[in-house]
Amino acid sequence: MTTLFDGLFDDAALFPPGNASMAAAVPAHRELRERLGRLVGPFVVPAARLDELSAHLDAGPAFEISLIVAAGDLPAAVRRVEEDPGLTLAAVEVPVVADAEAAAEAVRALDEVLPATVPAAVELPRSVARDEVLDVLAGTRYRAKLRTGGVRAELFPSVSELAETLHACVARDVAFKCTAGLHHAVRYTDPATGFEHHGFLNVLLAVSALPAGAPPQIAAERLLDSDAGGMVAALRTWPPHRSGRARALFTSFGTCSVLEPVDDLVALGLLPSPDRIPA
């Protein structure tokens, strides 16, 4: 099961609710990479904080980053990373675009400056323009970015909204990453805020149900599931091709605490304890 979760957890320690300082986040990311190996994705950083990041790098291996940058700032930001021997551009994330025109502009900018080996995701609007943006991304090498939470209740999409967005992505064969809110494996209510959080295993199971032609309602049922034992049992039956297809669609999610979701998977028996995970 370990390979099912390879690269699923992008390190978004700088972002809410964690809000780690750069001085703390950089060495913590290196430690996570050493402890958890392939489970850990790149370090997510806004373009505006690249100089700050570079100032905290040590002489260790090149630091793999997922760069958040607006389309208009792409050339300068990518050049900045390429000129820094301490950084490696692992991915790019374009902030939310309003409509198809803005999405097309982002795609043109990515085509012009981004190496073919570097994946990129464009954040979808949570509006009627969602599908037209996905139509622009369909057939390109670029992914969608889905907002699944945040620091305010309205940043969490409802079950029906998220199910319909997942369905829209799968129908166009557009891969996606998620950002914010997926703190735990299984759907739960945060006792401190009262916010309903989607579970990342729920998202994985919902996506797996859709390529066979299931309607959005089937995805919604998976998103609502809180039976952790049943979800684990279902995942254990997956053959390699099903796991591969699900992860080809759901590529990763940003989390301000990589250890939190990993600890969930260990508790559920889906991963060995961290000291037994191969680096």
State whether residue 92 is helix, strand or coil: strand
Residues β-bridged to residue 193 = none
- Is there a contact between 161 and 168 (Cβ–Cβ < 8 Å)? no
Which CATH number covers residue 251?
A: 3.20.20
Is residue 279 a part of any domain in this protein?
no
pLDDT at 276: 59
Q: Is residue 274 domain-resident?
A: no
Which range of residues forms the domain containing residue 18? 2-269
Tokens for 264, please give them: 């969930």
Residue 227 inside a domain? The answer is yes
What pLDDT shows up at residue 279? 52
Which residue is associated with the tokens 């630091």? 63
Q: Are 179 and 154 in contact (CB under 8 A)?
A: no
Contact 9, 251 (CB under 8 A): no
Per-residue pLDDT of the chain (279 residues; tens, 9 = 90+): 679 999 999 999 999 999 999 999 999 999 999 999 999 999 999 999 999 999 999 888 999 999 999 999 999 999 999 999 999 999 999 999 999 999 999 999 999 999 999 999 999 999 999 999 999 999 999 999 999 999 999 999 999 999 999 999 999 999 999 999 999 999 999 999 999 999 999 999 999 999 877 899 999 999 999 999 999 999 999 999 999 999 999 999 999 999 999 999 999 999 998 765 655
> Is residue 275 in some structural domain?
no
Measured CA to CA, the distance from residue 47 to residue 45 in angstroms comes to 6
Whether residue 277 is contained in a domain is answered as no
Cα–Cα distance, 220 to 53 (Å, whole number): 39
Q: Is residue 44 part of a domain?
A: yes
Name the domain count of the chain.
Answer: 1
Residue 189: C-alpha distances to residues 67, 147, 196 (Å): 31, 18, 5
**Residue 126 located in a structural domain:** yes
The pLDDT of residue 22 is 98
